[in-house]
DNA sequence: AACTGAAACAACCGCCATCTA
DNA sequence: CTAGATGGCGGTTGTTTCAGT
């Protein structure tokens, strides 16, 4: 084992070792830290060391970092090698300063997910977590020194002026000035090279994507060895399970989510490799693609609060250390969200969804175990309402968890866009860009939603996907990251539908909790419009 | 030109999760 | 089941660079 601790323990030892190789002018840890008792070098890397490491990676690929030292004689511990490779030698690394768009993206992402540098890095191709972290730390210092807020209002949501509207960080991101000014175009281009369109899913939507999602997509598209990709996917699925199994994530949901956990266990234990391959194509749509109110997930004890410029309110009192992306505070008083006076304006949430959806009344508390059930109920109610015209009576027929998830996940991605009739919503953009990609005309896709029932009809999956095979044929196989979404509701009639659906759930499961939490910010009246609960 | 402080960058450290024998 | 090995992540620190005086 690379004795990291030894490194630390030996720092007191003489740093210059007489037996340094000619090219090694750095510091040394004196005690045997490698398997063969070789003193490991510390400090800046030399070009020779870089060359050795790069050569090793060329020959053996990434991983097995400790074998670098064994096989090459490079006197660096595996950790150091991995770090050097990841932060400096990887060919896909982007050199140069962060662009303004990237910086804005980091700021916004930090408001949403906190110090998840690695995750941010996955969303900024070519950038490393270290780079992002350094930027943030530097920026934090600078802003604090200047007495400026860490999260400028413009980053948090300029649409906050509309009190009935939720913050639209992601909306901005994909629809607004940022994109128009070339937001992350470079990064997006790179993402597209990997086979997916970041704007199609919106940046925000991927914010909670398991780390492995993008990696797997990239790796698969780059022809990396399957086992490695699978390992990454496994990690993602395990993350999902961890999060779901974590009571701290959303204490009240535990019991309800238990079955989901079981589902994940099935997914991860029993399913064939094809499932993983589907995972690989499964770019994780954010559980809360409506993260137009990213802070809706983080009001009490949010990162914006805990890391940002806002003094801790009473909501923060009960926050746990875990960096939960949403509703972390068990003491959250949801009724205060609207009226809370000590909350900055853009944190004020108009929880009442349009359309008299009585979510809160149906469910005493969002934290209650009944939330998912309420979701099911609500979803189904609306769905039934569609079938029964203006009938508003609820449908109490049983809906499977899968059905519920299917009915909710896609809606998360689209409902708010429909609601805002944004022609440039991720969904519509998806259509636009898909048309560009595939060469299909827009007519092949559901017309843009405008509002109300039109919107619902417009995005009716059945109408949206009249030509699943054609679409599939245009996509480069499973490498299309949006294929999973497509497979989930576009190709839901295909034999693989169930499998894909499960994969989709698994992939987005990591932040299932935030997804659930975010439901209250979702326009409920439009939720089932995207994907109707399959008829039983 | 020299000095100084801030910013940027690089690397290490400790902890944790996962894997594997 | 367990302990060691390994890899990953976030926090922190040290060094270098740069701009202002």
CATH number at residue A38: 1.10.10.60
Phi first, then psi: give them for residue A535, nearest 5 degrees. Answer: -70, 140
Taking the C-alpha atoms of residue A456 and residue A463, their distance in angstroms, rounded to an integer, is 11
Taking the C-alpha atoms of residue A194 and residue A427, their distance in angstroms, rounded to an integer, is 20
pLDDT at residue A43, as a whole number: 85
Phi first, then psi: give them for residue A54, nearest 5 degrees. Answer: -65, -40
A468: in domain: no
Would the Cβ of A5 be found within 7 angstroms of any atom in strand B?
A: yes
Enumerate residues 6+ apart whose C-beta is below 8 A from A147. Answer: none
Length, in residues, of chain A: 536
Q: Is the pLDDT of residue A111 over 50?
A: yes
pLDDT at residue A37, as a whole number: 56
Using CA atoms, how far residue A57 sits from A60, A61, A72, A524, in Å, is 5, 4, 11, 50
Question: pLDDT tens-digit profile of A29-69?
Answer: 433 344 445 677 888 888 888 888 888 888 888 878 888 88
Using CA atoms, how far residue A229 sits from A149, A214, A224, A270, in Å, is 40, 10, 7, 18
pLDDT at residue A154, as a whole number: 54
Across A74-78, A225-229, A463-467, the highest mean pLDDT is recorded for A74-78
Taking the C-alpha atoms of residue A229 and residue A226, their distance in angstroms, rounded to an integer, is 5
pLDDT at residue A328, as a whole number: 30
H/E segment holding residue A255:
helix A254-270
Q: Which residue is nearest to nucleotide B19 (CA to C1')?
A: A231
Enumerate residues 6+ apart whose C-beta is below 8 A from A473. Answer: none
Structure tokens at A302: 């949010």
Taking the C-alpha atoms of residue A287 and residue A300, their distance in angstroms, rounded to an integer, is 19
* Percentage of residues of chain A with pLDDT beyond 90: 0
* Chain C positions with a protein C-beta closer than 7 Å: 4-13
Using CA atoms, how far residue A495 sits from A283, A482, A505, in Å, is 20, 18, 17
A488 closest CA partner among A323, A296, A284: A284
Enumerate residues 6+ apart whose C-beta is below 8 A from A358. Answer: none
Taking the C-alpha atoms of residue A397 and residue A384, their distance in angstroms, rounded to an integer, is 10
* Chain B positions with a protein C-beta closer than 7 Å: 6-15, 17-19
What is the CA A141 to C1' B7 distance in angstroms? 10
Taking the C-alpha atoms of residue A460 and residue A117, their distance in angstroms, rounded to an integer, is 37
Structure tokens at A507: 């992939």
Q: Which residue is nearest to nucleotide C15 (CA to C1')?
A: A44
Tally of structural domains, chain A:
1
Domain range for A76 is 4-89
A450: in domain: no
Taking the C-alpha atoms of residue A9 and residue A270, their distance in angstroms, rounded to an integer, is 45
Where would I find the H helices in A287-425?
Answer: 303-306, 336-339, 359-362, 370-387, 401-420
Q: Which residue is nearest to nucleotide B7 (CA to C1')?
A: A138
Taking the C-alpha atoms of residue A145 and residue A109, their distance in angstroms, rounded to an integer, is 22
With beta carbons less than 8 A apart as the criterion, state whether A335 and A348 touch.
no
What is the CA A263 to C1' B1 distance in angstroms? 70
pLDDT at residue A40, as a whole number: 77
A83: in domain: yes
Structure tokens at A276: 């993983």
Taking the C-alpha atoms of residue A390 and residue A485, their distance in angstroms, rounded to an integer, is 30
Average pLDDT over residues A369-375: 36
Structure tokens at A473: 């044929």
Cβ < 7 Å from strand B, A residues 18-37: 26, 29
What confidence tier does A512 reach under pLDDT thresholds 50, 70, 90? very low
pLDDT at residue A153, as a whole number: 64
A79: in domain: yes
Taking the C-alpha atoms of residue A525 and residue A491, their distance in angstroms, rounded to an integer, is 24
Cβ < 7 Å from strand B, A residues 33-62: 41-45
Question: In 3-state terms, chain A is what percent helix, strand and coil (to 5)?
Answer: 60, 0, 40
Q: Residue written as tokens 């099935």?
A: A266
Enumerate residues 6+ apart whose C-beta is below 8 A from A130. Answer: A83, A87, A117
Strand duo A27-28 + A41-42: pairing: antiparallel
pLDDT at residue A38, as a whole number: 62
Q: Which residue is nearest to nucleotide B14 (CA to C1')?
A: A5
What confidence tier does A250 reach under pLDDT thresholds 50, 70, 90? very low
Secondary structure of residue A454 in the 3-state scheme: helix
The radius of gyration of chain A's CA atoms, rounded to the nearest angstrom, is 24
pLDDT at residue A22, as a whole number: 33
What is the CA A307 to C1' B2 distance in angstroms? 39
């Amino acid at each position: 084992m690379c004795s990291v601790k030894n490194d630390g323990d030996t720092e007191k030892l003489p740093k210059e070792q007489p037996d340094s190789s000619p090219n090694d002018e750095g510091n040394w840890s004196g005690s045997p830290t490698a398997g063969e008792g070789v003193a490991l070098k510390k400090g800046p890397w030399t070009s020779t060391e870089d060359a050795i490491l790069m050569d090793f990676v060329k020959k053996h690929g990434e991983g097995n970092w400790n074998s670098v030292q064994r096989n090459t004689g490079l006197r660096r511990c595996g950790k150091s090698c991995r770090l050097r490779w990841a932060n400096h030698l990887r060919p896909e690394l982007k050199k140069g300063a962060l662009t303004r768009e990237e910086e804005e993206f980091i700021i916004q992402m930090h408001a949403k997910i906190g110090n998840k540098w690695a995750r941010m890095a996955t969303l900024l191709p070519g950038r490393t977590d270290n780079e992002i972290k350094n930027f943030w730390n530097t920026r934090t210092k600078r802003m604090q020194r200047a007495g400026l807020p860490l999260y400028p209002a413009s980053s948090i949501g300029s649409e906050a002026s509309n009190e009935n509207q939720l913050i639209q960080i992601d909306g901005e991101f994909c629809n607004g000035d940022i994109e128009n000014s070339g937001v992350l175009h470079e990064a997006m281009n790179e993402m597209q090279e990997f086979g997916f369109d970041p704007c199609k899913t919106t940046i925000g939507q991927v914010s909670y994507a398991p780390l492995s999602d993008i990696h797997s997509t990239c790796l698969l598209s780059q022809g990396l060895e399957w086992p490695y990709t699978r390992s990454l996917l496994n990690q993602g699925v395990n993350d999902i399970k961890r999060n779901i199994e974590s009571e701290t994530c959303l204490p009240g949901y535990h019991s309800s989510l238990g079955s989901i956990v079981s589902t994940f266990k099935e997914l991860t234990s029993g399913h064939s490799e094809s499932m993983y391959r589907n995972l690989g194509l499964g770019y994780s749509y954010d559980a809360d693609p409506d993260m137009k109110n990213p802070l809706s997930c983080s009001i009490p004890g949010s990162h914006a609060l805990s890391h940002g410029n806002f003094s801790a309110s009473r909501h923060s009192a009960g926050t746990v250390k875990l960096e939960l992306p949403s509703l972390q505070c068990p003491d959250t008083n949801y009724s205060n969200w609207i009226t809370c006076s000590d909350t900055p304006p853009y944190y004020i949430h108009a929880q009442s969804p349009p359309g008299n959806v009585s979510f809160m009344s149906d469910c005493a508390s969002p934290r209650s175990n009944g939330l998912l059930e309420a979701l099911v109920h609500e979803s189904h109610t609306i769905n039934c309402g569609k079938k029964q015209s203006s009938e508003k009576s609820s449908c109490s027929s049983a809906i499977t968890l899968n059905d519920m998830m299917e009915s909710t996940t896609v809606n998360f991605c689209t409902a708010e866009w429909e609601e805002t009739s944004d022609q440039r919503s991720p969904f519509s953009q998806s259509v636009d860009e898909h048309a560009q990609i595939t060469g299909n005309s827009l007519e092949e896709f559901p017309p843009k939603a405008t509002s109300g029932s039109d919107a619902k009809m417009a995005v009716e999956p059945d109408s949206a996907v009249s030509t699943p095979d054609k679409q599939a044929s245009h996509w480069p196989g499973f490498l299309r990251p949006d294929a999973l979404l497509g497979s989930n509701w576009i190709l839901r009639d295909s034999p693989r539908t169930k499998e894909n659906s499960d994969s989709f759930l698994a992939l987005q499961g990591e932040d299932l909790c935030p997804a659930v939490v975010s439901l209250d910010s979702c326009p409920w009246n439009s939720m089932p419009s995207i994907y109707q609960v399959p008829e039983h």
